[in-house]
């Protein structure tokens, strides 16, 4: 039960990070264009994955969260926006999302086995 709660807590934190990322263009007055679009699109993507994971845990959701976090880390350099505030926000949130997804992936096999085993 405790492990399940830890996994759920990770998903709640990911959802919170997604909300901060989505609203970061307004909160931190980011410039339009790539920084704005990256924060909005990836924020929505991470939020949807987190809500799906809260509803019913699946390993593929965590793999997608890991990929989204890693993509968020490299996005400022791939998309060429040099706004230091946007780079900091993307990298910090990307590292946090990727780290939480990696943590959940290390715990996932045990949690899935417990979810598939009928309780007697």
Domain ranges of the chain: 2-115
Structure confidence at residue 82 as a pLDDT band (50, 70, 90) = confident
Q: Which helix (H) or strand (E) covers residue 5, if one does?
A: helix 2-27
- Give mean pLDDT, residues 50-63: 86
Cβ neighbors of 51 (< 8 A, separation 6 or more) are 15
What whole-number distance in Å separates Cα of residue 103 and Cα of residue 70? Answer: 14
What whole-number distance in Å separates Cα of residue 28 and Cα of residue 36? Answer: 11
- What pTM was estimated for this model as a whole? 0.82
Confidence (pLDDT) at 112: 52
Does position 50 have pLDDT exceeding 70, yes or no?
yes
């Amino acid at each position: 039960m405790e492990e399940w709660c830890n996994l759920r807590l990770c998903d709640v934190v990911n959802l919170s990070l997604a909300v901060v990322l989505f609203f970061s263009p307004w909160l931190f007055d980011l410039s339009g264009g790539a920084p704005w679009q990256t924060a909005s699109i990836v924020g929505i993507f991470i939020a949807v994955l987190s809500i799906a994971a809260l509803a019913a845990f699946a390993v593929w959701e965590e793999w997608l969260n890991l990929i989204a976090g890693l993509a968020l880390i490299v996005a400022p350099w791939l998309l060429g926006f040099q706004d230091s505030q946007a780079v900091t926000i993307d990298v910090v949130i990307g590292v946090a999302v990727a780290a939480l997804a990696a943590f959940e992936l290390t715990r996932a096999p045990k949690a899935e086995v417990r979810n598939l085993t009928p309780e007697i």
